[in-house]
Chain A
Amino acid sequence: MHPKLANLYMVVLAEAMAIPRGAQPVTSDALSHVGIGDFTMERLAGALLDGITEPPAAPGREVEQQMADLTIKMVVPANLDDLPAEKLVAFRDRYPGERAAFQQQMHAMVASLDVEGIRDPEALRDHLQVQYETLVQPQLADLEQRLHDARIDTTMALTNVKTQLPPGLAAGVGLLMLHSGQPVLGTGAVALGVWRTWQDQRRARRTALGALPASAYLHHIGADFRPTDLASRINQLSQRFLPRRAAEHPRAGQAGIT
């Protein structure tokens, strides 16, 4: 079995199975992260079977969609290879309430992207930082303290959550980011990327049933990889899902404001 074909099959399956189970697609593979989300088979195969097929031109049954991805620094245990699983399981079982609270704040952070009236990238960067400091940072500080109390050293990782570009953001600075050639902005702890893609028109019917849950990519990193670096990489990978002419647009894929 060609591994790329197997991956393609699994991405299709994950998308089909996540929605009715209320599950969030989660991956450790960045390209698969970008690839889950209502693409036509031609578009998905063109991107995932890289080097085997060519990205197709946009046929009539595709529509342009605007996407956003949010990258956030996360606290994680250091030396995970040496950390016994039993110790980690015991830790997480002690704090289900805290874990639920963090999940709520992460969803609130994604929801906070739907902000109207911001026209300036600098203002959006400030907004992201404030939201991060208000919603996520206290939860992470609490987790870090609890890990230290359990004698577990900590380090940082990144998570990237992909969703549709919220209407409020699209009406303001999001559109500017898409067309300015600077599709990524962020701070040291959080980054936002926006990008265009072409998806199956059946999304309209999907939306009526319930949208695909925001998918997540979890990147286990060293200390030198910044949120804006990951957001830029996601943006570059998204170019594979564009029609060839759009992918060759001179502004496409440029790394953004840091």
Chain B
Amino acid sequence: MASSSGLAWVSAATEAELTELQVGDLMSHNDNCLASLDPTIGVIMGAHIGLYYPFIHFRDESWLKLTSLYWDRMGRIVPEGYGLRATIRSVNSRMVATSATSTQKERKPDPDLPSENYSPLTATSFANAMACTFPLTGPMTRLRSRHGPLSSAIRSLPTFSARRSLLNSSRT
């Protein structure tokens, strides 16, 4: 269930819902949750959404089951084009399948935005930051000696994408 926005949702998250989440000043998740007390704002704004990191795949199926009791949705950061559906573990696919069944009749996901509406948050920016932080003659030497040059490691990083609003926010 890899989305073009780079996030895959374990539960019933759609691009439509994400768009609603980004409407208004919703930068503070605490505010989001408190806002759900106000029935005029809407349920989605109070959704308790987790973003799993630092791995793409859940390391522990039981751990994922545990989170399902306390979070409404659990997102993952997934490279574009990544074959997540084929590789996700059984519990995850069951949750996705259940969610899809229960929500498809209610709303359709927004169609993907044209590619120009996306700005890449790519490995390049990370590589540049790392290069500035650690010159290749510096303390990364041990990493390079065991796993090849840093430049190769950076090149092998998957490229992630995010909405333009995300990138703008992260830069400001």
Contact = CB atoms under 8 A, between A and B. Distances in A.
A118 interface: no
A53 B169 CA distance: 29
A51 B143 CA distance: 10
B54 A218 contact: no
Interface in A4-41: 4-14, 16-29, 32, 36, 41
B48 A20 contact: no
B95 A21 contact: no
Interface string A68-96: 00000010110011010110110111001
Interface residues of B, number: 75
A247 B133 CA distance: 21
B4 to A, nearest CB: 14
- Interface size of A as a range: 35 or more
A220 interface: yes
Most buried by B among A11, A20, A143, A218: A20
A112 B153 CA distance: 45
Contacts of A220: 60, 62-63, 66
B30 A52 contact: no
A210 interface: yes
Interface in B60-116: 60-63, 65-72, 74-75, 77, 90-91, 94-95, 98, 102
Interface string B105-133: 00000000000000001010010011011
B143 A209 contact: no
A11 B139 CA distance: 20
Contacts, number: 207
A166 interface: no
B7 interface: yes
Interface centre among A21, A76, A143, A211 (most CB of B within 10 A): A21
A23 B142 contact: no
Interface in B1-58: 6-7, 18, 21-22, 25-34, 36-37, 46, 48-56, 58
A45 B130 contact: yes
Contacts of A18: 29, 51
A99 B143 contact: no
Interface of B: 6-7, 18, 21-22, 25-34, 36-37, 46, 48-56, 58-63, 65-72, 74-75, 77, 90-91, 94-95, 98, 102, 121, 123, 126, 129-130, 132-134, 139-140, 142-143, 146-147, 153, 156-157, 160, 162-163, 165-166, 169-170, 172
Given A25-B51, A27-B53, 12 more contacts: A1-B156, A10-B54, A17-B7, A20-B162, A20-B163, A21-B75, A51-B142, A80-B66, A85-B65, A89-B68, A103-B48, A107-B30
